[in-house]
Structure 1
Amino acid sequence: MEHLEIERKFLVVSDVYKQEATSQVRIAQGFLNTDPERTVRVRIKGDKGFLTIKGPSNATGTTRFEWETEISLTEATNLIDLCKDVILEKVRFEVPLGNKLFEVDEFLGENKGLVIAEVELNHEDEVFERPKWLGEEVTGQPEYYNSQLSKNPFTQW
């Protein structure tokens, strides 16, 4: 199936990633639908807007359908106003390591204190170099999905 996203998620145990990052951008995102079978996300990343639809995760939580398209900043802003629950705010740091790019999200607002790193893979059992600041793996744990953090923020755990 086209448009498959294969990624693993980890908690982050130190802020060393900030010194290793090659870029950072502020992100605001909300969810028009948080049903695990068909999540619909609106995102403002820097000065660009995006609409993303994700399908259900497989049994391991590693692979799922993902379709994304860029929309205008105005459209994204208008759609975020329609979103449910908490609007997620975070700063994303991009950290290259070997042939992989780790995206480290430092959450703000009602999810402040949560830092999650994601790495996209070519296949589920791909071996990759793990940075020292990578902690416990949380792949497939629904409470760490952004859609769930919008309904049950980290500061309320």
Structure 2
Amino acid sequence: MGTEIERKFLVIGDDWREKAGPGQPLRQGYLTPKGATSVRIRCAAEEAFLTIKGETHGLARPEFEYEIPVAEAEEMLRTLCIGPPLEKMRYRVEHGGLTWDVDVFSGRHTGLVLAEVELTEAAQHVDLPSWVEAEVTHDPRYRNAALAEGDVPPPGSRIP
């Protein structure tokens, strides 16, 4: 079984861009956004994935990911997912010995910028960069599944 251990933060400013690699456009939607289990379809360039995530316990949750044909993923995004797909540009930024994913949302979530960092264990020390603000790991409003359904926090990078 795969396990995802991650923390999520709101991003302030643009200082992260100095260290960012090239961005990758992502489109994703959810078949089951609410509840303990979520099923996601994600298209990234010439690849597509089906991801199943279980209930979160602390910072960890079970995660299973499978590559699927892009044409089938596009069809699922059009016909099976709840609401229109999330659209974002993902940048990778190295900081403190870890790789951070900075997601710049577009479409109905324009103005929202989130950073996630995956860990090898829940107690792992994380050197926070100057460009992160409040941690939103446990705030359900900032889960991608909630954003896909339209449960949108106010635009910008501040918690209301």
Distance across 2 between alignment mates of 1:36 and 1:8: 20
1:123 corresponding residue in structure 2? 121
Contact between 1:36 and 1:55, CA under 8 Å: does it hold in 2?
no
Alignment of 1:60-139 (within 5 A): 60=58, 62-81=59-78, 82-139=80-137
Q: How does 1:37-48 map to 2 (within 5 A)?
A: 37-48=36-47
Mapped contact 2:34–2:146 kept (Cα < 8 A): no
- Structure with the larger strand share: 1
TM-score, scaled relative to structure 1: 0.92
Aligned partner letter, 1:108: S
> Could you state the TM-score of these two structures normalised by the residue count of structure 2?
0.91
- TM superposition shift of 1:128: 2.1
Once residues 122 and 70 of structure 1 are traced to their aligned partners in structure 2, the CA distance between those partners, rounded to angstroms, is 23
Extract unaligned runs of 5+ from structure 2.
none
State yes or no: 1:3 paired with 2:2.
yes
Letter in 1 for 2:65: E
User: Once the 2 structures are TM-superposed, how far is the Cα of residue 106 of structure 1 from its aligned partner?
Assistant: 0.5
Q: Percent identity among equivalent residues? A: 38
Secondary structure of the residue aligned to 1:78 is helix
State the Cα deviation string for residues 37-82 of structure 1 (Å, max 9, x = none). Answer: 2100000012211100000111x3x111110011111111011112
How many Å separate the matches in 1 of 2:35 and 2:22? 30
The aligned counterpart of 1:52 is 51
Stretches of 4+ aligned residues off by more than 4 angstroms: none
Contact preservation (8 Å) 1:33, 1:39: yes
Any gaps of 5 or more consecutive residues in structure 1? Answer: none
Question: Over the residues paired in the alignment, what is the CA RMSD in angstroms?
Answer: 1.5
